Amino acid sequence: MKFQRIFVPPQSDGMEINMIREYKTIEEVAGPLMLVKQVEGVKYDELGEIQLPNGEVRRCRVLEVNGRNVLVQLFESSAGLNLAESKVRFTGHGVELPVSEHMLGRVFNGMGEAIDEGAPIIPDKSLDINGTPINPAARFYPSEFIQTGVSTIDGLNTLVRGQKLPIFSGSGLPHANLAAQIARQAKVRGSDSKFAVVFAAIGITFEEADFFISDFKKTGAIDRTVLFINLASDAAIERISTPRMALTAAEYLAFECDMHVLVIMTDITNYAEALREVSAARKEVPGRRGYPGYLYTDLATMYERAGRKMGSEGSITMIPILSMPEDDKTHPIPDLTGYITEGQIILSREMYRKGYMPPMDVLPSLSRLKDKGIGAGKTREDHAGTMNQLFSSYARGKEAKELMVVLGEAALTPLDRLYAKFADAFEQEYVNQGFYENRTIEQTLELGWKLLSILPRSEMKRINPALVAKYWPKETD
Amino acid sequence: MGKIVKVSGPLVVATGMQDANMSDVVRVGEQRLIGEILNMTGDSASIQVYEETSGIGPGAEVVTTGTPLSVELGPGLLENIYDGIQRPLEGIMKVCGANIKRGVEVPALDREKKWDFVATAKVGDQVVGGDVIGTVQETSSTVHKIMVPIGMKGTISSITSGSFTVADVVATLTTEKGEKKDLTMMQKWPVRVGRPYKKKYPPHIPLSTGQRVIDTMFPVAKGGTAAIPGPFGSGKTVMQHALAKWSDVDLVVYIGCGERGNEMTDVLREFPELTDPRTGKSLMERTVLIANTSDMPVAAREASIYTGITIAEYYRDMGYSVAVIADSTSRWAEALREMSGRLEEMPGEEGYPAYLTSRLAQFYERAGQVVCLGSDGRMGALSAIGAVSPQGGDISEPVTQATLRIVKVFWGLDSSLAYRRHFPAINWLNSYSLYRDRLEPWFAEHVSPKWMEYTGRCLKTLQLEDSLNEIVKLVGVDALSAEDRLTLESARSIREDFLQQNAFEDEDCYTALDKQYCMMGLVFAFEDKARRAIAEGANIDKLAELPVRERIGRFKSVPYAAYKTEAEKITAEMTEQLNGLVQEAKV
Q: Which of B30, B237, B419 has the highest number of chain A CBs within 10 A, making it the mutation to test binding with A?
A: B419
Among the partner residues B58, B237, B341, nearest to A285 by beta-carbon distance = B341
Stretch B255-273: mean pLDDT: 91
- Cβ <8 Å between B476 and A411: yes
- Comparison of pLDDT for A11 and B350, the residue scoring more: B350
- Comparison of pLDDT for A199 and A464, the residue scoring more: A199
Interface contacts A/B by beta carbons within 8 Å: 232
Per-residue confidence at A452, pLDDT binned at 50, 70, 90? very high
Strand partners, A231: A204
pLDDT of amino acid A442: 94
- Cβ <8 Å between B55 and A14: yes
- Cβ <8 Å between A300 and B295: yes
* Cis peptide bond prior to B424, omega within 30° of 0: yes
Determine the distance in angstroms separating the CA of B319 from the nearest CA of chain A, rounded to an integer. 30
Q: How far apart are the first and last CA of chain A?
A: 88
Whole-complex ipTM: 0.87
Determine the distance in angstroms separating the CA of A150 from the nearest CA of chain B, rounded to an integer. 20
Among the partner residues B8, B55, B293, nearest to A43 by beta-carbon distance = B55
Q: List all residues of chain A from 166 to 225 with a beta carbon under 8 Å from chain B.
A: none
How does DSSP assign B527-552, residue by residue?
Answer: HHHHHHHHHTT--HHHHHT-HHHHHH
Q: Which of A244, A178, A180, A251 is nearest to A212 (CA)?
A: A180
User: A239 and A277 in contact (C-beta within 8 Å)?
Assistant: no
Phi then psi for residue A306, to 5 deg, are: -75, 155
3-state secondary structure of B518: helix
Q: Which residues of A touch B99 (CB under 8 A)?
A: 131-135, 138, 309
Task: Tell whether the model's pLDDT for residue B244 goes beyond 60.
Answer: yes
pLDDT of amino acid A14: 44
In this structure, the strands spanning A167-169 and A315-323 are parallel
Q: List all residues of chain A from 92 to 131 with a beta carbon under 8 Å from chain B.
A: 94, 128, 130-131
- Cβ <8 Å between A41 and B261: no
Residue pLDDT, tens place only, B73-109:
999 999 999 999 999 999 999 998 899 988 888 999 9
In this complex, is the C-beta atom of A469 within 8 Å of any C-beta atom belonging to chain B? no
- Cβ <8 Å between A44 and B475: no
Which residue on chain A is closest to B53 by alpha carbon?
Answer: A44
Q: Which residues of A touch B265 (CB under 8 A)?
A: 136-137, 139-141
- Cβ <8 Å between B7 and A65: yes
Amino acid at A267: D
Q: Which of A297, A401, A407 has the highest number of chain B CBs within 10 A, making it the mutation to test binding with B?
A: A297
Amino acid at B548: V
Q: Which of A39, A42, A44 has the highest number of chain B CBs within 10 A, making it the mutation to test binding with B?
A: A44
Stretch A355-365: mean pLDDT: 93
Determine the distance in angstroms separating the CA of A359 from the nearest CA of chain B, rounded to an integer. 17
Q: Which residues of B touch A141 (CB under 8 A)?
A: 262, 265-266, 269
Among the partner residues B53, B269, B496, nearest to A141 by beta-carbon distance = B269
Stretch A385-396: mean pLDDT: 92
Measured CA to CA, the distance from residue A415 to residue A459 in angstroms comes to 10
Task: Tell whether the model's pLDDT for residue B343 goes beyond 60.
Answer: yes
- Cβ <8 Å between B295 and A15: no
Inter-CA distances, B310 with A202, A248, B110, B307, B450, Å: 44, 38, 19, 5, 39
Stretch B2-16: mean pLDDT: 93
Q: Which residues of B touch A288 (CB under 8 A)?
A: 350, 391-392
How does DSSP assign B177-204, residue by residue?
Answer: TS-EEEEES-EEEETTSPPP-SEEE---
Task: Tell whether the model's pLDDT for residue A2 goes beyond 80.
Answer: no
- Cβ <8 Å between A335 and B392: yes
Residue pLDDT, tens place only, A188-212:
887 777 889 999 999 999 999 999 9
Among the partner residues B6, B293, B421, nearest to A392 by beta-carbon distance = B421
Contacts of B267 (CB under 8 A, 6+ apart): B241, B244, B254, B256, B287, B289
Task: Tell whether the model's pLDDT for residue A7 goes beyond 50.
Answer: no
- Cβ <8 Å between B265 and A136: yes
pLDDT of amino acid A19: 60
Residue pLDDT, tens place only, B397-443:
999 999 999 999 999 999 889 888 889 999 999 999 999 999 999 99
Residue pLDDT, tens place only, A99-108:
999 999 999 9
- Cβ <8 Å between A41 and B59: yes
Determine the distance in angstroms separating the CA of A79 from the nearest CA of chain B, rounded to an integer. 26
Determine the distance in angstroms separating the CA of B285 from the nearest CA of chain A, rounded to an integer. 17
Contacts of A59 (CB under 8 A, 6+ apart): A47, A48, A49, A50, A74, A75, A76, A95, A111
Residue pLDDT, tens place only, B428-439:
999 999 999 999
Stretch B41-64: mean pLDDT: 92
User: A225 and A268 in contact (C-beta within 8 Å)?
Assistant: no
pLDDT of amino acid A475: 64
Stretch A444-451: mean pLDDT: 96
Q: Which residues of B touch A66 (CB under 8 A)?
A: 5-6, 8
In this complex, is the C-beta atom of A61 within 8 Å of any C-beta atom belonging to chain B? no
- Cβ <8 Å between B57 and A44: yes
- Cβ <8 Å between A66 and B6: yes
- Cβ <8 Å between B262 and A369: yes
Determine the distance in angstroms separating the CA of B403 from the nearest CA of chain A, rounded to an integer. 19
pLDDT of amino acid B389: 92
Inter-CA distances, A355 with A173, A325, B555, Å: 11, 22, 42
Residue pLDDT, tens place only, A304-330:
999 999 989 999 999 999 999 989 988
Task: Tell whether the model's pLDDT for residue B542 goes beyond 90.
Answer: no
- Cβ <8 Å between B261 and A363: no
Phi then psi for residue B487, to 5 deg, are: -60, -45
Among the partner residues A309, A329, A411, nearest to B477 by beta-carbon distance = A411
Q: Could you tell me where the beta strands, DSSP code E, fall in B16-114?
A: 24-28, 33-41, 44-49, 61-68, 70-73, 81-82
In this complex, is the C-beta atom of A14 within 8 Å of any C-beta atom belonging to chain B? yes
In this complex, is the C-beta atom of A280 within 8 Å of any C-beta atom belonging to chain B? no
Q: Which residues of B touch A68 (CB under 8 A)?
A: 58
Inter-CA distances, A106 with A212, A242, A260, B552, Å: 14, 15, 18, 61
Q: Which residues of B touch A69 (CB under 8 A)?
A: none
Per-residue confidence at A8, pLDDT binned at 50, 70, 90? very low
Task: Tell whether the model's pLDDT for residue A17 goes beyond 60.
Answer: no
Q: What percent of chain A has pLDDT over 70?
A: 95
Q: Which residues of A touch B500 (CB under 8 A)?
A: none
pLDDT of amino acid A6: 39
Q: Which residues of B touch A138 (CB under 8 A)?
A: 89, 93, 97-99
